[in-house]
Amino acid sequence: MRYAHIDFLRAALMIGGIIVHSATLALQPSPFYSAIFYISSLFRMETFFIISGFLTALTCSKYGYSIAIKNRLIRIGIPLFFGLIILNPITNQLVYLYHNEGIEKYTLNLYFKNNHAANGPMVWHLHLWFLFPLIFYAFFLRPIDKLASNNFLKQYIKDLDDKNNIYIVILILSLATLSVLLRIFYTQIIVNFFNFEFSFLLREILYQFPYYLFGFILFKYKGAYKIFHTPSWCLFACLTTIVIVFNENNPFNNVFLKSAELMVYAITSYSIANILFYLSERSLPKHSNIISFYASASYTIYMMHYLVIYAIALSFKSFFENENIFIAFCAVITFIITTLIHKHMVSDKRILPIFLNGKI
């Protein structure tokens, strides 16, 4: 069974990276672009990991664990390797040229070392960080699937309906609590005692796991799936208000208040994901050619968009005086070019689909 609205939502979240990363072109601090980063941080990758868990559970159910693991490692591992070795070093070079005057101080070693003296978002992994947790989870699909099938869930979640949806509220609260505990574990234990060069990878593996697990649960329990496609507008409105009040400009030093803040953020992520699932299902009940195309093209678009953004920016920077119009121009042209790249250079071809989409 195909889920058209989930394919569409996944594609939209990936293509949305164009908006987020085009905002990095801003040379001066801007409340508008800060808001883009902030709003994106509330839901975009969290929702993506829910969808990834759901679709991976579907693959496990359809083909079994062995084939699912092989599928995940190929589909994720090859594009990740290609991106880290080929695309990202070129992109970092373009980022440096855009954000810095001259090239004499530029350090070519951008594979595994950040150039802290330079301006611009130059890190070796760039936008591909999320592939590391997905590869890690792929090695543990069986225990993750078993965890999603534990006796508590079988007893209380299996036959959910609109009259007893309190159990999914409890489930989401439990997963939000797990998110907070994992964050505390990372910041208080890992960072303080075991901090190392790539510890951020462990951070993301821990942070995103509850959302990935929730995706498995949504697939395995149709009652939970149905309720999660019913909007909770009141909860969404309340939590959004609270998040605005908390904001990053009001940091808490007290561990209990900080935990409460993280709890609200986690529940907000689930609430926004709930609204997005509802809206996408309501708007797109069936597959269409355009959805099928972008469900596939979204991989290519995401892999290529960062490089294309800065290639366009360097090419057209001198033609624009208004920075906002310039950034919007770069975003639109990036979407068009990456779409054309997929249509004419990746789709139905032999070589590039392997490196950009992991399709063998």
pLDDT digit string, tens, across residues 166-201: 777 788 888 989 998 998 888 888 877 776 667 788
Return the ∠ at Cα 230 (arms to 145 and 223), rounded to 5°: 40
pLDDT digit string, tens, across residues 27-39: 888 888 888 888 8
Per-residue pLDDT of the chain (360 residues; tens, 9 = 90+): 678 899 999 999 999 999 999 999 998 888 888 888 888 988 999 999 999 999 999 999 999 999 999 999 999 999 999 999 999 999 998 998 898 876 554 555 454 445 556 788 888 899 999 999 999 999 999 999 999 988 877 777 766 655 556 777 788 888 989 998 998 888 888 877 776 667 788 889 999 999 999 999 999 988 889 888 887 766 666 666 666 655 655 555 666 777 777 888 888 899 899 999 999 998 876 777 888 899 999 999 999 999 999 999 999 999 999 999 999 999 999 999 999 999 999 988 888 899 999 987
State whether residue 198 is helix, strand or coil: coil
Sign, CA dihedral 149-153-159-161, equals: negative
pTM above threshold 0.85: yes
pLDDT value of position 131: 96
pLDDT digit string, tens, across residues 72-85: 999 999 999 999 99
Alpha-helix residue ranges (DSSP H) falling in the chain: 4-15, 17-22, 31-63, 65-82, 88-99, 131-138, 141-147, 151-156, 166-185, 191-194, 199-220, 222-228, 233-246, 255-283, 289-316, 323-341, 352
* CA pair distance 176, 44, nearest whole angstrom: 16
pLDDT value of position 160: 62
Non-local CB neighbours of 93 within 8 Å, separated by 6+ positions: 106, 110
261, 60 in Cβ contact below 8 A?
Answer: no
Length of the chain: 360
Dump the DSSP string for 260-303: HHHHHHHHHHHHHHHHHHHHHHHH--S--HHHHHHHHHHHHHHH
